[in-house]
Amino acid sequence: MKTPCSVTDSSMEDKANGSVDTKSPVENGQLPDPASWGVADVVNYFKATGFEEQATAFQDQEIDGKSLLLMTRNDVLTGLSIKLGPALKIYEYHVKPLQTQHLKTNAS
């Protein structure tokens, strides 16, 4: 009987706690533009970046790409009913960069 590799276990732990080391899906060296994402796309993005448990909050609140781009720090911290630590990481490392990238892409 084979046992799971300890490297896999530790990387899963890193993803579960939303560490900074999580890798974002990147397209052509840039973050994807979520303006056309549906709710399922937003949920899948957060699952892929290591926020499996918190992704359901976006589903429950029906946050699509356009809504994601409109979210404030306060919306993420209080409106989604998720724990403060993951909420801070989600906003700082994912929502804010996606918003910034969207603005840069559409400003030209």
Burial (CB count within 10 angstroms: exposed 0-12, middle 13-18, buried 19+), residue 30: exposed
Quick one: pLDDT at residue 33? 87
Structural domains of the chain in order of their starting residue, each with its CATH number? 31-107 (1.10.150.50)
Amino acid at 68: L
CA distance from start to end of the chain: 57
Quick one: pLDDT at residue 31? 73
The answer on pLDDT for 81 being more than 90 is yes
pTM value is: 0.74
Tell me the three state secondary structure of residue 30. Answer: strand
pLDDT in tens, 54-75: 999 999 999 999 999 999 999 9
